[in-house]
Amino acid sequence: MKILEFITPSNIGGAENYVVNLSKKLIEKGHEVFILSAVAGNNKNPDLSVEQFFSKSGLPFKLVKADFKYNPFTILKIAYFIKKNNFDIIHTHLSKANFIGALASKIAKKKSVSTAHGLNKKAQYKYCDYVICVSNAVKENLVSQGMDETKLGVIYNGIDISKFNPEAEGLPVRKEYFFSEDAGNNNLHNIDNAARQFNVGIIARLSREKGVDLFIEAAKFVLIKIPEAKFFIAGAGSLKETLIKRAKDLNIFNSIYFVGFVDSNLVSFLNELDVVVFPSLKEGLPLALLESMSMKKIVIVSDAGGMPEVVEDGKNGYVVKKGDVNAIYQKLIFVYNNRPGLKELADSAAETIKERFNIENCADKTINLFMKFL
């Protein structure tokens, strides 16, 4: 098959990494894949440049300008590109691509499949032939809006588990992971001892729905009981300055480290954490959760979206009610007091990912779905 992966990102996150991981696996299985992206870069932070991101992936890609969904020139341009290159199927990701990519596919008389990465509105899937939902929660959200259930199916996200190996050699902590002038931190004390302390992390876009503010609120209470604890926030986004101010207002800024976009340093970053928290208020199924579990990390997740479909409370991680700061605090204290006895839980987390959420399964199911439309 000749497959076009079309994505319209505003930053680099789970959906973008999913596209790269899936594309590489599809190519490995003998298919031809090309990536079309609609964002040229982010001038504020070169680490978030979409052009750089796809260049580093080694995959063939092209950038187009797509300022808004209803630009007929853009739609016709993409339709021409699809027809000229004779793609067999178009696979779209994120709202703009789902709308204009599917519409362009219809003009080019090609089939299109969208992947719903989050709890989205059904309107963006108006023109696509089928929707892959990354969790049952995502599917149920679209069904509740009246979407035809026969057009929906669940294929869980998958990761390359060979890249997330907690036993891999050469995973030293580097100071620059935990400090940058851009992040606003003004302290480096005890950073060399970070691995010997209680290190709690969050990997998320710095936006309201990811619950990063709840993570900081919980940190305040944890630090009363465990003053040596360190809290690491990996991610970029519009709320960064607001979150830095909140940490300062709570007088815990010296224990909070805004590490920014970790990208290729993610494995090393995860390796230094004891616990990873996912306090989202709204969620599909974050790749970072799968990656953390594959690294045998204790995870604490909210009951938002598809996360409870992966994490079984007390068996391979912990689930708390979304928005419940006290519950996050209590679980963190429990983990701190019981770390030596949680190896079995951590092993179970990694086994869950290996069996159910690896990229091999994801790619095979996606290929089988595409073949149905051809």
- pLDDT 10s digits, 296-334: 999 999 999 999 999 999 999 999 999 999 999 999 999
In terms of C-beta density within 10 A (0-12 exposed, 13-18 middle, 19 or more buried), how is residue 176 classed?
Answer: exposed
On the question of pLDDT at 173 being above 70, the answer is no
Query: Position of tokens 């770390």?
Result: 339
On the question of pLDDT at 3 being above 80, the answer is yes
On the question of pLDDT at 349 being above 80, the answer is yes
Task: In whole angstroms, give the CA distance from residue 19 to residue 346.
Answer: 27
Both tokens of 278, joined, read: 């996912």
Confidence of residue 170 (pLDDT cuts 50, 70, 90): low
Q: Cβ of 343: how many Cβ atoms within 10 Å?
A: 11
Task: List the one residue out of 53, 24, 18 whose CA is nearest residue 236.
Answer: 53
Query: Position of tokens 């719903």?
Result: 116
- pLDDT 10s digits, 6-40: 999 877 888 999 999 999 999 999 999 999 998 64
> What share of the chain has pLDDT > 90, as a percent?
75
Degrees, nearest 5: CA angle 160-163-164: 95
DSSP string, 300-359: EEES-TTGGGT--BTTTBEEE-TT-HHHHHHHHHHHHHHGGG-HHHHHHHHHHHHHHSBH
pTM: 0.87
pLDDT of 45 reads 52
Across the strands, what pairs with 132? 115, 153
Across the strands, what pairs with 319? 301
Domains along the sequence of the chain with CATH = 2-158+358-372 (3.40.50.2000), 161-356 (3.40.50.2000)
Confidence of residue 67 (pLDDT cuts 50, 70, 90): low
Task: List the one residue out of 207, 265, 208 whose CA is nearest residue 236.
Answer: 207
Query: Position of tokens 């900081």?
Result: 216
Query: Position of tokens 């993409």?
Result: 78
Are the C-beta atoms of 259 and 177 separated by less than 8 Å?
A: yes
Confidence of residue 354 (pLDDT cuts 50, 70, 90): very high
